[in-house]
Structure 1
């Protein structure tokens, strides 16, 4: 039997009763997160946050009562031992009442060959093994996501030692025991600032929220959750600096049935991701929830808290976004999401959503004898949905000879354009209406001066292309100015053309 097949068979027969049975009533968990390891270890970013998220999904979907899930953050070894002892006392009472308890232990933090680290204190893997297997629960699950700190993609290392294989006791009284680690021997586990947690725990939460429900029965079992989490953790770390990460397991069990960890029917709201091979959906929702789901050949139903969601669809042809509101009890299907023309252009090397620019060119105000004057231009362009808002500021000055009347003219102004992409390539052409305002001053040779408001309306055209890490382009406008000329209101043709250098953000 192949190793993947062995995983599927072994984890599917952890005993809590008959297959497909609803969640057991007596469920207890100790969830531990520690950002601090031994002296000299850098603090982790997300270990305690990982623990909070795991506790939340157990209570929300796993039929764990809030008082039966102990969340410990930044505590010492004594507190962990005491928490397991409290859970054991509760399980003994439950067993006396005819229940079949399930016990889950979870840890996220630093680890070394000596065991999990809780600041300068440790619980050895041998002791952890004994504490978990020594409980009176019918089924016992221990999950260790052990990590060391880094920066963006953080190196979290369960050390490459045989103790991570979690050798289990041979007692036949244990009906079901599973130990799961986020790494294989000799590997580093990793966490990511982009997903705000460890790869492993992030994908474990997403699995329990429905992505791991391989058979579509609305229940996520331990076997389904492990298979999904292991596969997604591997896929998510293949391109990191530390390389691929393989989740591992060790178990001993008897009986039949499966440990059901999540019942999607308990969800506050449900959202179905459609069949969409080759795409990834990223959901950001209430309570800082973040779910990154790879769509496949079958729809995926996610169990989520009610509230507002920002959804992003990522695919080879670009990205698309939407805002959703999931009400309490809602059962929704993800609306069709298609990338905008800007997003299609960006997939081919087009500009970033925001651009700062500076440049120079020429501007014609349509005044008698004025012609064109050199202009300095600064501005910003920012995509807002299907359009690009472009704001420019201009300054020009010129000495003018109007039929023998000499004067100096200065102009300061700005304009806002709503641009729409005319194509979808890395060389992007945009056009749209533009409105602006400026102020012109006229200073005669005898030092008399006059001023006028200048209102501008017309059409703008912007074409940019990549050059190394920057972009270069042309910014053109054609329209008319409304201003005071010879003490009367006049409309005069006007135009500008500038060469720009742009920086994306």
Structure 2
């Protein structure tokens, strides 16, 4: 520890604020950053192939791109490179820096390497790159600042050794001091560097990445400096390797920088999604992604909040604290800060292992009896603190009269209250006529009036009101349910509300959730800020962000939309470039690349146009096309020219109405359309038919005036057209339509005038040519 303090003191003296200025101030300070990230699993035939050097390099590049101020275009990633690949990368970075020098006041260069090395060189497969050559190549990069991070060496079986002949590496060679450089190494001159299958990374790089994402921020300013990062990486790497078979690993450094202040390596505030560890969260925190992969392992001991920059997604958290282990899960959303506190987690059962033989630890002192009794009855191990007392059965009239005398927090298996019962932890059941309250509840909470629990694993049931901070199970209420987090089911006759939901919400009137993964069902209304799953409502569905399926009797609304919207009347998607399908009478979307099926379809990048054309059968055609270019809806009518501004239906020439689907291919200012159409002709029946139907109505006792004198006939058609758009909202087009007659629809053509006919076996085709103009709204 004495050596570490001396090292950190020296580090503080030499580090300069001219390095890596804060990310969000880059444009003001005129700093441009560049980097080369190398991952080399292959160290040649004499060395065991590594597993995680490549993924470490990828992760380092991603982290520095997100919060380290290195744009993707300025970072070069090399996986298992050759000497020439590395030389080419150095030349490329140098060219970029020279080309952009006039755009910035200062340029900074980061070189990261993870892979094999020996006493004198990096091992790049069949070739090597000596430290002296590497030093010269880095020095020749024309940047104002050079930062070098080398993570090289690994060890055998579970922990592999990264090369190494136990000679002093150049990174900590005092003769290699270069002005304006910062060198960090993963181990000292006489040690190996190690990687682990358990964390899927090298210990040093894992500590560096965890530190860069916020764990190393000891000052609490949401920025990680070189001083902070080295201190954190040193402690974490040493603690993880001190009991390994290879031996402890001590990261080292050599820094000669000119300036004042400290080097900022990452800015947490630049992250799109952040987790805040609250001041009251203390202990060893383990974070894993939804696939169980370790993301971060942090030992938080102080009372300050800690901010971590993580990718959006689902995470599992385990907090190993003094006397208890807590677990839970949370959803980290884009643009949000999630507060992770002990209240977000639940106590977990300790694993029980039967011993073959006597365990000396079985000898319990008298002071252990109360805790042991709790373990046996509760069914999980949770050490009772000095502030807690275990009461097997808790009785309460108004305010826990029997246990109140202990002046401690009550842990119980069964609570029975008349008007009110309040306990700290319950593992079993809580019954009350009025109000049940528990911080931790496993089992059943039942009351006539209300239930309240910070954490629930089981069932809450009441006639009026349920409230839970975190719920894994079921909430059932006649009136109202509220949870901050939920995994399971909410059911209420009137109203459900949940901060996060993974499961099902069901209400007779109204559902609200901050984030939903499963399903919402309501008789009237559903609201979800983000939805991945299914919404169903009798009236309206609303989701700010949506990935699944919306079904409503009246309307669907989604701020962002991917999936399907199905409504009896209106679908609205505010921004939906990746949407799948909208089905309704009216569909409205922003940028939309999916399918819209309805009478009226509106989107920013779709088709919404009115058309008028004159046909070879002396008809005028009126059309409305709306929807996506890949598939749009056609509505329209065709009427004889002389009837266009008068009576559309007469005994001689009848109008027909059009509905169908079309698809368009656009090439510059030209478009090619094909449309599949259903045509409906409404014609007056002949006098004999009308009289016959009236006679039948009189015979049945019906009013003969109810007999409809017109009949609708159907025939299909297909249409091909070519359009030209000289102006943004104006299009000229021409096309040919083929009406199709077959045995069952022949009567329809008795009421249309066709000048051309093609006999084709059992059907007839009636070609019709038209020319016209379209007016586009988009």
Normalised-by-shorter TM-score class: 0.5 to 0.7
Work out which of the residue numbers 246, 256, 262 in structure 2 matches 1:258.
Answer: 262
> In structure 2, what is the equivalent of residue 424 of structure 1?
381
Q: Contact 1:268–1:330 (CA<8 Å) still a contact in 2?
A: yes
Q: Is 2:157 the counterpart of 1:155?
A: no
Q: Is 2:11 the counterpart of 1:4?
A: no
Q: Secondary structure at the match of 1:281?
A: strand
Q: Higher relative contact order by CA 8 Å / sep ≥ 6: 1 or 2?
A: 1
Q: Is 2:127 the counterpart of 1:121?
A: yes
In the TM superposition, residue 319 of structure 1 has moved relative to its aligned partner by 3.0
Work out which of the residue numbers 244, 248, 252 in structure 2 matches 1:244.
Answer: 248
Task: Give a deviation string over 1:81-107, Cα, whole Å, max 9, x none.
Answer: 111111111112222334311100000
User: Are the structure 2 counterparts of residues 20 and 146 from structure 1 closer, same or farther at C-alpha, using a change threshold of 3 Å?
Assistant: closer
Work out which of the residue numbers 265, 272, 278 in structure 2 matches 1:268.
Answer: 272
Task: Give a deviation string over 1:180-206, Cα, whole Å, max 9, x none.
Answer: 110001111111111110110001001
In the TM superposition, residue 293 of structure 1 has moved relative to its aligned partner by 1.1
User: Are the structure 2 counterparts of residues 14 and 118 from structure 1 closer, same or farther at C-alpha, using a change threshold of 3 Å?
Assistant: farther
TM-score, normalised to structure 2, is 0.43
In the TM superposition, residue 38 of structure 1 has moved relative to its aligned partner by 2.0
User: Are the structure 2 counterparts of residues 108 and 170 from structure 1 closer, same or farther at C-alpha, using a change threshold of 3 Å?
Assistant: closer
Q: Secondary structure at the match of 2:169?
A: helix
Q: Contact 2:66–2:270 (CA<8 Å) still a contact in 1?
A: yes
Q: Is 2:300 the counterpart of 1:295?
A: yes
Distance in 1 (alpha carbons) for counterparts of 2:128 and 2:281: 44
Distance in 1 (alpha carbons) for counterparts of 2:192 and 2:256: 26
In the TM superposition, residue 289 of structure 1 has moved relative to its aligned partner by 6.5
Alignment length, in residue pairs?
Answer: 356
Task: Give a deviation string over 1:209-237, Cα, whole Å, max 9, x none.
Answer: 01111212222122221111111111111
Distance in 2 (alpha carbons) for counterparts of 1:98 and 1:5: 32
Work out which of the residue numbers 106, 111, 114 in structure 2 matches 1:100.
Answer: 106
> In structure 2, what is the equivalent of residue 212 of structure 1?
216
In the TM superposition, residue 282 of structure 1 has moved relative to its aligned partner by 1.4
> In structure 2, what is the equivalent of residue 13 of structure 1?
16
Distance in 1 (alpha carbons) for counterparts of 2:214 and 2:189: 29
Q: Secondary structure at the match of 2:349?
A: helix
Q: Contact 1:342–1:421 (CA<8 Å) still a contact in 2?
A: no
In the TM superposition, residue 169 of structure 1 has moved relative to its aligned partner by 5.7
Work out which of the residue numbers 347, 354, 362 in structure 2 matches 1:340.
Answer: 347
Work out which of the residue numbers 150, 175, 197 in structure 1 matches 2:201.
Answer: 197
Distance in 1 (alpha carbons) for counterparts of 2:21 and 2:37: 27
Q: Contact 1:18–1:256 (CA<8 Å) still a contact in 2?
A: no
Task: Give a deviation string over 1:287-337, Cα, whole Å, max 9, x none.
Answer: 966111111213211011111111121235353221110111111211316
Q: Contact 1:158–1:188 (CA<8 Å) still a contact in 2?
A: yes
Work out which of the residue numbers 312, 317, 320 in structure 1 matches 2:323.
Answer: 317
Q: Contact 1:129–1:168 (CA<8 Å) still a contact in 2?
A: no
User: Are the structure 2 counterparts of residues 177 and 318 from structure 1 closer, same or farther at C-alpha, using a change threshold of 3 Å?
Assistant: same
Alignment of 1:395-434 (within 5 A): 421-422=378-379, 424=381
User: Are the structure 2 counterparts of residues 192 and 18 from structure 1 closer, same or farther at C-alpha, using a change threshold of 3 Å?
Assistant: closer
Distance in 2 (alpha carbons) for counterparts of 1:326 and 1:185: 41
In the TM superposition, residue 162 of structure 1 has moved relative to its aligned partner by 2.7
User: Are the structure 2 counterparts of residues 179 and 170 from structure 1 closer, same or farther at C-alpha, using a change threshold of 3 Å?
Assistant: closer
Q: Secondary structure at the match of 2:195?
A: strand
> In structure 1, what is the equivalent of residue 399 of structure 2?
none
Distance in 1 (alpha carbons) for counterparts of 2:47 and 2:87: 23
Q: Which has the larger radius of gyration?
A: 2
> In structure 2, what is the equivalent of residue 408 of structure 1?
none
Q: Contact 1:141–1:178 (CA<8 Å) still a contact in 2?
A: yes
> In structure 2, what is the equivalent of residue 460 of structure 1?
none
TM-score, normalised to structure 1, is 0.65
Distance in 1 (alpha carbons) for counterparts of 2:58 and 2:84: 20
Q: Contact 2:23–2:68 (CA<8 Å) still a contact in 1?
A: no
User: Are the structure 2 counterparts of residues 16 and 143 from structure 1 closer, same or farther at C-alpha, using a change threshold of 3 Å?
Assistant: closer
Q: Contact 1:19–1:258 (CA<8 Å) still a contact in 2?
A: no
Distance in 1 (alpha carbons) for counterparts of 2:64 and 2:22: 20
In the TM superposition, residue 140 of structure 1 has moved relative to its aligned partner by 0.7
Distance in 2 (alpha carbons) for counterparts of 1:286 and 1:133: 43
> In structure 2, what is the equivalent of residue 351 of structure 1?
353
Task: Give a deviation string over 1:5-47, Cα, whole Å, max 9, x none.
Answer: 112322x325338899934641100000011102221111111
> In structure 2, what is the equivalent of residue 308 of structure 1?
314
Aligned residues: CA RMSD: 3.1
In the TM superposition, residue 55 of structure 1 has moved relative to its aligned partner by 0.5
Distance in 2 (alpha carbons) for counterparts of 1:96 and 1:208: 30
